[in-house]
Amino acid sequence: MSLSIQQGEFFSLLGPSGCGKTTLLRIIAGLDLPDEGKLKIGGVDARNLPAHRRPVNTVFQSYALFPHMTVAENIAFGLRMKKVVPLQIVERVDRIMRLVEVSDLAGRKPAQLSGGQKQRVALARAVVNEPNVLLLDEPLGALDLKLRRQLQGELHQLQRRLGITFVYVTHDQEEALVMSDRIAVMNAGKIEQLDSGEELYEHPRTRFVAQFLGACNLLAGVVEHIDGTELMVKTTVGQLHADLTRATRKPALSENVTVAIRPEKVRLAPADAIITGNQVRGVIEDVVFSGAETHYRVRAGDHQLNAIALNSCPGHQGLRVGQEVRCHMDPCALILLEDHS
């Protein structure tokens, strides 16, 4: 793979377990050595630099705090190893503890801290050394959902205040979307697609990215007609028109293709409703209420479509299991993928 991470960027490596995210992070940190290729940090060749001489620090999922040291001593450890002047150590540790809001925990040992507090201390210990690059290996993975979401926002704000380059490893799609300037979606040791979170979600290029980054309906079909930026595809659920304005390639007539559409872009209406554009008839097989949204599973011929509707008004949909519906899919919401089954 080849990639360039900008100074001051919050960059995420996203992918399933075993795809190579942590290996790449360890190569940047100097904990693993690449068989070949180049690695530059701040424009300087770092491939042969030992780990302790690289301008990077790492935050691990396990936190790796010293159990016999207090919070303040843990944070100061790296500065003491660098033989920073004691007065400067005190000033820098105090400043960082205020920044990550752990000043009132300074005298506690790790065993006296909650998971979220340990995470803040681990971040402070890494940031206090003022590295050019901060490497974070799934640092929020061990926390409960509510705390994880809270710390996602705090981590993003902290990165903005510090201006340090963050390279963040995660398999959590929402986490990557919430915090990152850019995301590299990885699969089997390669980068499938690299872009902003919005671009990856709205315009995935491959089936893997479309399915890994959120839910997605995939429809196999054959190209029947092309007229400028308009494409007509005969799919397993019927004829569909797609807008090619944002497509990365132009398919050929009679080519096998896959089009994708996100569940929230599939709009459901009763069977007798009058709608124009792409529409597919189906029967609702399942309805799941999940608070802010209602999830629908619709059987359209031999194909299953997933749709999501926001619960902006209680019971506004009024759709039930067994009901016949029309699934409306805007041509602009259909995505032409670069690969197909």
Report phi then psi at 203, rounded to 5.
-135, 60
pLDDT of residue 340: 72
Return all residues near 236 (Cβ < 8 A) that are at least 6 apart.
Answer: 219, 220, 221, 301, 302, 303
SS3 readout for 252-289: CCCCEEEEEECHHHEEEEECCCCCCCCEEEEEEEEEEE
Residue 277 above 90 pLDDT?
no
For 253-269, how does the pLDDT look when each residue is reduced to its tens digit (9 = 90+)? 999 999 999 999 999 99
pLDDT band at 329 (very low <50, low <70, confident <90, very high): very high
Q: Percentage of the chain surpassing pLDDT 90?
A: 62
pLDDT in tens, 146-186: 878 888 888 888 888 888 999 999 999 989 999 999 999 99
Of all residues in the chain, what percent are helix, strand and coil, respectively (each to 5)? 30, 30, 40
Beta strands in 15-154 (DSSP E): 40-41, 44-45, 56-59, 133-137
How far apart, in whole angstroms, are the C-alpha atoms of residue 6 and residue 15? 21
| CATH architecture for segment(s) 10-207 | 3-Layer(aba) Sandwich (3.40)
pLDDT at 316 over 70: no
Q: What is the pTM of this model?
A: 0.88
Averaged pLDDT, 306-332: 85
Task: Reply yes or no on whether the pLDDT at 245 is more than 90.
Answer: no
Backbone angles phi, psi at 71, to 5 degrees: -60, -50
Q: Please, which pLDDT band fits residue 317 given cuts at 50, 70 and 90?
A: low
- 223: its two tokens: 């190209």
With contact defined as beta carbons under 8 Å apart, do 58 and 135 qualify?
yes
Q: Provide the residue ranges of all domains of the chain, joining segments of one domain with +.
A: 10-207, 215-336
pLDDT in tens, 62-107: 778 999 999 999 999 989 998 999 999 999 999 989 888 889 999 9
The CA-atom distances, in angstroms, between 87 and each of 71, 83, 94, 295 are: 18, 11, 11, 58
**Mean pLDDT within 34-52:** 92
215-336 and 10-207 share a CATH fold:
no
How far does CA 31 lie from the centroid of its chain?
25
pLDDT at 8 over 80: yes
Phi–psi pair at 95, nearest 5 degrees: -65, -45
In this structure, of 21-30, 127-136, 312-321, the range with the lowest mean pLDDT score is 312-321
Q: Which CATH class is domain 215-336?
A: mainly beta
The pLDDT-based confidence of 291 (bands split at 50, 70, 90) is confident
The pLDDT of residue 185: 96
